[in-house]
């Protein structure tokens, strides 16, 4: 079972394009192998992933999506998706950290004018920033109040990825008065920013936590733009932020499913798993084992096929840019919604039932197989699969455009 398909772009480098996809997939493969050597021990320790972020920095993967002329890797979204999926197969929490960084560091492209976005990306590349935060809506919003020539940010941001190690935060806030939601960039070293770690049973190395903002100053240029989905405030091209971000989650879930199945298969092939005493220990001929592997392989590869369709739709939408229509955007978003549902089910089924195949040995903390299940459940909780089914059904039956949802 392949982990990630290689994008079809050429692998040659030039001063303006940077290395090709083959280079970045090779780098990601080496990093994934490196992370795999001690993944269970690191996950069990649950320490903030400063060392892992250093590895990402040294590999160049943090700057992968920034244009080469701005000092970045010059890669595209298909390459970034493949990198996230490959790393997720061994360490889903670091894949979530990296995927969140890609989305948040790219957010200026969606929500502000090109010159400001280029300035921000040039700084991010030069200083190798790692981005954390969340642009998803929350029950109690942050409040942005005008103060002199800039703003002040107040409130508490509930769980957000990467905040424990971030060089820059991108968060969602509402303007005081008209309640318009906007994307805001914050330097976490500012006085008034307090970050608390979050205790989670899964994705423990994603550096997640809560952030409190106490009259934190925000410059006018760090208010990127509106996140309002009503009354056609966002253009179709800006609305692509939703499917682009959610497709990162899909790739992560596929990587989780593929990684869990790959590790379980190694135990079965080595004769270290047994489900029924009537069969020899670890017998690869046990019909229950064969049926389970067959079912989970088909489930995961079906999700992968839907994901390829969604990736092609997103890539086409990004290429159309300002020519994209709202109807085209809705079709792209539904493609991602269907891939989300399939990948969510594949990840939950594969990571749970892989433990059944390995048997009682899978309870060993030393093996760390439980991390796949815990990571999959923790990652799928913000977007229940029932919501995805309903959105796809409403589009199919009523041509209803799916809601504008940013990844949590």
C-alpha angle with apex 383: 164 to 338, nearest 5 degrees?
Answer: 125
| Whether CATH 2.40.110.10 fits 133-230 | yes
Q: What is the pLDDT of residue 394?
A: 98
CA distances from 98 to 225, 300, 364 (A): 23, 22, 28
Please tell me the pTM assigned to this model.
0.92
Q: What is the pLDDT of residue 1?
A: 42
CATH class of 21-130: mainly alpha
Q: What is the pLDDT of residue 362?
A: 77
CA distances from 190 to 116, 150, 217, 273, 334 (A): 21, 15, 8, 53, 40
Q: Give 58-61 contacts, CB < 8 A, sequence gap 24+.
A: 59/27, 59/28, 59/30, 59/31, 60/27, 61/24, 61/27, 61/28, 61/31, 61/98
> Residues in the chain with pLDDT < 50?
1-13, 281-282
| Helices of type H across 157-286 | 236-239, 241-269
Domain locations along the chain? 21-130, 133-230, 232-398
Q: What is the pLDDT of residue 110?
A: 95
Q: What is the pLDDT of residue 366?
A: 73
CATH class of 232-398: mainly alpha
pLDDT tens across 40-98, in order? 999 999 999 999 999 999 999 999 999 999 999 999 999 999 999 999 999 999 999 99
């Amino acid at each position: 079972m392949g982990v990630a398909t290689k994008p079809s772009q050429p692998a040659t480098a030039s001063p303006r394009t940077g290395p090709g996809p083959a280079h970045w997939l090779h780098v990601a493969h080496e990093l994934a192998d490196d992370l795999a050597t001690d993944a269970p021990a690191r996950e069990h320790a649950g320490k903030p992933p400063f060392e892992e972020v250093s590895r990402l920095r040294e590999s160049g993967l943090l700057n992968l999506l920034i244009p080469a002329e701005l000092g970045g890797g010059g890669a595209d979204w298909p390459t970034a998706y493949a990198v996230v999926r490959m790393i997720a197969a061994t360490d889903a929490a670091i894949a979530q950290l990296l995927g969140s960084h890609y989305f948040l560091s790219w957010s200026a492209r969606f929500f502000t004018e090109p010159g400001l976005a280029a300035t921000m990306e040039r700084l991010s590349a030069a200083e190798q920033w790692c981005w954390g935060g969340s642009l998803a809506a929350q029950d109690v919003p942050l409040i942005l109040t005008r103060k002199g020539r800039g703003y002040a940010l107040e409130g508490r941001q509930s769980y957000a990825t990467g905040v424990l190690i971030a060089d820059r935060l991108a968060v969602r806030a509402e303007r005081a008065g008209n309640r318009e939601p906007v994307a805001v960039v914050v330097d976490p070293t500012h006085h008034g920013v307090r970050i608390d770690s979050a205790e989670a049973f899964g994705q423990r190395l994603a550096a997640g936590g809560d952030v409190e903002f106490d009259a934190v100053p925000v410059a006018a240029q760090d208010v990127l733009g509106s996140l309002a989905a009503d009354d056609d405030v966002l253009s179709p091209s800006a609305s692509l932020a939703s499917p682009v971000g959610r497709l990162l989650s899909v790739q992560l879930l596929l990587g989780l499913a593929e990684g869990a199945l790959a590790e379980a298969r190694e135990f079965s092939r080595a004769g270290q798993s047994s489900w029924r005493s009537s069969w020899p220990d670890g017998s690869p001929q046990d019909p229950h084992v064969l049926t389970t592997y067959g079912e989970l392989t088909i489930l995961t590869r079906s999700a992968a096929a839907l994901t390829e369709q969604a990736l092609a739709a997103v890539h086409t939408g990004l290429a159309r840019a300002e020519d994209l229509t709202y109807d085209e955007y809705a079709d792209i978003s539904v493609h991602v919604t269907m891939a989300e549902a399939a990948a969510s089910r594949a990840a939950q089924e594969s990571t749970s039932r892989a433990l059944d195949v390995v048997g009682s040995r899978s309870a060993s903390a030393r093996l760390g197989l439980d991390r796949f299940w815990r990571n999959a459940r923790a990652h799928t909780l913000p977007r229940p699969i029932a919501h995805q089914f309903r959105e796809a059904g409403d589009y199919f039956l009523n041509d209803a455009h799916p809601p504008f949802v940013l990844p949590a």
